[in-house]
Amino acid sequence: MNTIIYITDIQEVYKMETISYHVAANRIEKVLLKDIIDSIIYEEDYSEDIKLRLLNCISEEENKER
């Protein structure tokens, strides 16, 4: 049981590292960051809306870099 919890914790840490990287790179705006934090606190996982918004802002920025 502890191993499963530990693996889940590692996945959550990786998600947060990814989010913090994109915040530092100015790819994620304050409104989206607030929604992400609310989702972490109040929901089991990110909503589909947040996932799509994340994907959209990250992929837009990556396309600009090319």
pTM for the whole structure: 0.70
- In tens, the pLDDT along 35-66 reads 999 988 898 888 899 999 999 988 876 666 66
Closest CA to 18 of 45, 65, 44, 55: 55
| Domains of the chain: total | 1
| Domain of residue 33, residue span | 2-65
Beta carbons of 54 and 28 less than 8 angstroms apart = yes
